[in-house]
């Protein structure tokens, strides 16, 4: 296997990825058929199955490319207010990311059928699956905050709230105060937590 062949292979895979994303974005999840993907990618049907075992195989690799999280999530905070602000900022960051993808795309992506959103399945964890869990732990260890729920419960709650926010924004086709809602609902929740 020459280096050139390897490179070609990688290129094809990339083309397929890009095509799938484009279709998801433009036409919705229902149109994401192998045939359509291949047509969009300019690649043969058989080629797809050379690179991916099944359709689900493709999907599982799909959203790997979310923005890096945390600016400073490893620095221990010095006050409860700082904790709240930091966490809120993490998700305001995500709000911005969602906006760049647009409500159309996100509406297609945020389906309970999309198992790449399932924290039990993914190993690499994109938003909102990567949560601020270890930051909360850190803050708790430094006695900056205190809460009595299990850490996992809290990260679940936050994930649910974030998903609800995205969902709401998608539902209203982008015509919602995404950042405002996210900020307010998270603050209220965290306020109740600590």
Partner DNA sequence: TATGAATGAGTCTTCATTCAT
Partner DNA sequence: AATGAATGAAGACTCATTCAT
Per CB under 8 A, does 189 bind a second copy?
Answer: yes
**Cβ-based nearer residue to a second copy, 73 or 162:** 162
Per CB under 8 A, does 102 bind a second copy?
Answer: no
Binder of a second copy out of 12, 86, 155, 165 (CB under 8 A): 165
- The whole-angstrom separation of Cα 15 and Cα 12 is 5
3-state secondary structure of 193: helix
- List the structure tokens of 1: 């296997």
The least CB distance from residue 52 to DNA, in Å, is 8
3-state secondary structure of 176: coil
Q: Return the H-helix or E-strand segment holding 161.
A: helix 151-171
Binder of DNA out of 20, 43, 95, 182 (CB under 7 A): 43
- To which residue do tokens 């950042």 refer? 179
The least CB distance from residue 181 to a second copy, in Å, is 6
Per CB under 8 A, does 187 bind a second copy?
Answer: yes
Per CB under 8 A, does 192 bind a second copy?
Answer: yes
| Integer angstrom CA distances of residue 161 from 144, 166, 167, 183, 188 | 23, 9, 10, 11, 11
Per CB under 7 A, does 111 bind DNA?
Answer: no
Per CB under 8 A, does 133 bind a second copy?
Answer: no
- The whole-angstrom separation of Cα 139 and Cα 52 is 42
Contacts of 91 (CB under 8 A, 6+ apart): 128, 162, 165, 182, 186
**Cβ-based nearer residue to a second copy, 72 or 184:** 184
List of residues contacting DNA (CB under 7 A):
1, 3-6, 8-9, 11-12, 30-36, 43-51, 54-56
List of residues contacting a second copy (CB under 8 A):
28, 103, 106-108, 110-113, 115, 117-118, 120, 149, 153, 156-157, 159-168, 170-172, 175, 181, 184-185, 187-193
């Amino acid at each position: 296997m020459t280096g050139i062949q390897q490179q070609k292979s990688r290129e094809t895979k990339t083309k397929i990825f890009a095509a799938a994303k484009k279709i998801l974005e433009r036409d919705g999840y229902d149109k994401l058929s192998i045939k359509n993907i291949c047509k969009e990618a300019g690649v043969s049907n058989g080629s797809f199955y050379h690179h991916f075992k099944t359709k689900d195989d493709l999907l599982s690799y799909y959203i790997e490319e979310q923005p890096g999280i945390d600016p400073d999530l490893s620095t221990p905070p010095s006050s409860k207010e700082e904790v709240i602000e930091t966490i809120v900022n993490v998700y305001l960051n995500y709000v911005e990311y969602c906006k760049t993808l647009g409500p159309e795309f996100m509406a297609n992506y945020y389906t309970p059928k999309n198992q790449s959103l399932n924290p039990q399945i993914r190993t690499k964890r994109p938003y909102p699956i990567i949560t601020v869990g270890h930051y909360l732990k850190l803050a708790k260890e430094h006695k900056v905050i205190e809460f009595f729920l299990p850490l996992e419960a809290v990260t679940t709650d936050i994930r649910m709230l974030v998903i609800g926010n995205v969902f709401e924004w998608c539902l209203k086709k982008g015509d919602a105060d995404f950042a405002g809602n996210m900020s307010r609902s998270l603050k209220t929740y965290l306020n109740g937590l600590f």
